[in-house]
Amino acid sequence: MDPSIPDVLRVDLHVHVGNERWHHPLAAFVVALRARGVTVAGLVDHAEFYVEPKSDWVRSHYAALTAAGVEPYPGTLDGLRTFYHDIEALRPFAGLAVLKGLEVADIEAVPEAFFEFPDYLAHCFGNVADEDGPTFGHRAAARVRRFGGRVRPTGKPGIVNHPFRARSWVYRDLVEAGRAPPPHEFITADDVARLAGAAAEEDLILEVNYGAFAGYEASHPVVDLYVHAVGRLVACGADLCLGSDSHRPPADSFPPSVLRVLRESGLGAAQVARVRRLLEPAGAVLPAEAAAAAPASLPVAAPPVEAEPEAPSPPGAAQSPAEEAPAAASSSTAAAPAAGPAPLPGPGAPPGDPGI
């Protein structure tokens, strides 16, 4: 890794290597992450692939995998065990700290038995229109507390993934329509304070999901929105981590939009230290410096593969955007690669509030 890259980017706790990795071998992710300079990687899959009943998007994804000739992990508790067994088998060769994560979209739908195996739990934070409250901050805090209520009995660390992503999609659409308010009006200081306060009460980490804005030019208004929102989280003293939300082996560099958000928001080593404090009780040793060189025996020999076909995304959790192969938009107001439809306004949303 370039020594000028912030150390905070050495920790990536959101890498999808389960039923969304397509043809890419698990070891290829580890090699790519190590080349990127990552010293701590959280390898995750969606809980919804393994629980019953299967949603439409899960069934559609399994069908797409089968059509592409990819054998998925079985959609059962044993399938989840197999997934984690594969991660554990790779640990001696990885050359970086590897954590097992489980990302949960429907907080109430996952049985407790599934929480036994991961090192940490993550919530796939999306549309919060179904939560009570007059503002985004009220609704986001309510969602965070519900997730905390599931995590707390497990004694495991919890991460709230991409808390601003669904809202940023609405902002993107407002930018394209020429109707976007200033960032501090769309995500207010009170919104962020309520979100950070709820996370602190529940002892949860809030993720800065840089995959959500990596595909934009650094000057795009959505990046302005993230500079503002992440800066407010830093000012609140929230426990933060970074996640790429990669669904394929990532590139070995970071686009300017990511570096801008880190630089201008003030996100840095202090937040990484707090993440270390929260995750060490789970048995994860998070090194402050680069991990030792990996053994040469890492079993990653795999031929290049063609791009995987399109597949449906879970509700509120789109496929990873162009972070793995950044390509700047042609103008500062061009939208990032489509990450899914923006959530619709919730019932009873206040005027000017998209309801998410």
Q: What residue spans of the chain are helical by DSSP H?
A: 26-36, 56-67, 77-94, 136-151, 165-176, 183-186, 189-202, 221-236, 256-265, 269-279
**Three-state SS at 209:** strand
Residue numbers of the domain that contains 137: 7-53+79-294
**Is residue 325 in a domain?**
no
Q: Are 160 and 104 in contact (CB under 8 A)?
A: no
Total residue count of the chain as it appears in this document: 356
Give me the chain's average pLDDT, please: 82
**Is residue 308 in a domain?**
no
Mean pLDDT of 19-41: 92
CATH number of residue 104's parent domain: 3.20.20.140
| 205 beta partners | 159
**Is residue 62 in a domain?**
no
**Is residue 195 in a domain?**
yes
pLDDT at 312 exceeding the cut of 60:
no
- As for how many domains the chain has, the answer is 1
**Is residue 354 in a domain?**
no
Of the pLDDT bands very low, low, confident and very high (cuts 50, 70, 90), residue 108 is very high
**Is residue 15 in a domain?**
yes
The predicted pLDDT at position 328 comes to 31
Which amino acid appears at position 48 of this protein?
Answer: E
Instruction: Give the Cα separation of 123 and 178 in Å (integer).
Output: 32
pLDDT at 165 exceeding the cut of 50:
yes
Instruction: Give the Cα separation of 27 and 297 in Å (integer).
Output: 11
The predicted pLDDT at position 356 comes to 56
User: Which tops the pLDDT comparison, 199 or 317?
Assistant: 199
Tokens 């991409």 correspond to what residue?
162
The predicted pLDDT at position 340 comes to 33
Q: Are 36 and 66 in contact (CB under 8 A)?
A: no
Task: Give the list of residues 6+ apart from residue 292 with CB closer than 8 angstroms, or none.
Answer: 95
Peptide bond into 53 cis (omega under 30): yes
How many beta carbons lie within 10 A of that of residue 185, not counting itself?
10
Task: Give the list of residues 6+ apart from residue 4 with CB closer than 8 angstroms, or none.
Answer: none
The predicted pLDDT at position 282 comes to 62
The predicted pLDDT at position 273 comes to 74
| 44 beta partners | 16, 101
- CA distances to 33, 76, 136, 152, 308 from 20, in Å: 17, 16, 30, 28, 10
**Is residue 305 in a domain?**
no
Q: Are 122 and 101 in contact (CB under 8 A)?
A: yes
Mean pLDDT of 257-271: 90
**Is residue 147 in a domain?**
yes
